[in-house]
Amino acid sequence: MRKAYVERKTKETKIESEINLDGIGKNKISTGIGFLDHMIEQLSKHGLIDIVLKVKGDLYIDGHHTTEDSGYVLGEAVAKALGERKGIERYGHALIPMDETLTRVVVDLSGRPYLVWNVAFTQKKLGDMDTELFKEWFQAFSQSLGANIHVENLYGINNHHIIESCFKGLARSLKQSVSINKKIKTQIPSSKGVLSRSAKL
């Protein structure tokens, strides 16, 4: 079982996370931001990743540090659970419809962090969460995981549907990219022979 535990403590946030990449989508999420909890629950449920995430952040300021740091910790946990990334499919993609909305997410667990974010909102907030923070979460997740992630909302009207389809798309893409290909289970899927965030690329 590919599991990991990550703890992060700063003056801004205190975070603990446990994940199991080979889980069934069980989760216990507590960030102090209800809408963010709901989105990470989607990541767990639709990615079949068991996630425990406990965050105590400086929400008396705003939700920025809590949102960004939770992305860093979850990305680091996935990276840690993947280890050398031997045998993984590496690539994953998803097209996620949600009523009037359609979103495309593509992931490459290359070790090279890069986010392409083509998502726009017409509301400043969803629940108590600033919509501009969703990009910050994806950016942090991409950075600490060492993943190339493209998120593109093709069309949609309802802001809740738009962002939820982004998280569900990430979940399904991750589910595919972290899965083990039995043909190459002892090999690293790269001509470089390494998929590491610390490798010289």
For the chain, give every domain's residue range.
3-184
Q: How much is the average pLDDT of 38-55?
A: 98
Angle in degrees, CA 173, 196, 29, rounded to 5: 50
Fold of 3-184: Ribosomal Protein S5; domain 2 (3.30.230)
Do 115 and 109 form a contact (C-beta atoms < 8 A)?
no
* Confidence at residue 187, expressed as pLDDT on a 0 to 100 scale: 76
H/E element, 103: strand 101-108
139 has a pLDDT exceeding 50: yes
* Confidence at residue 201, expressed as pLDDT on a 0 to 100 scale: 33
Q: If DSSP codes are grouped into helix, strand and coil, which group holds residue 49? A: coil
Q: Which of 115, 16, 2 is nearest to 69 (CA)?
A: 16
Mean pLDDT, the chain, rounded, equals 94
pLDDT band at 11 (very low <50, low <70, confident <90, very high): very high
Q: How much is the average pLDDT of 79-83?
A: 95
18 has a pLDDT exceeding 60: yes
At residue 104, φ and ψ (nearest 5 deg) are: -115, 130
Model pTM score: 0.94
Task: Tell me which DSSP letter residue 24 carries.
Answer: -
The number of residues in the chain equals 201
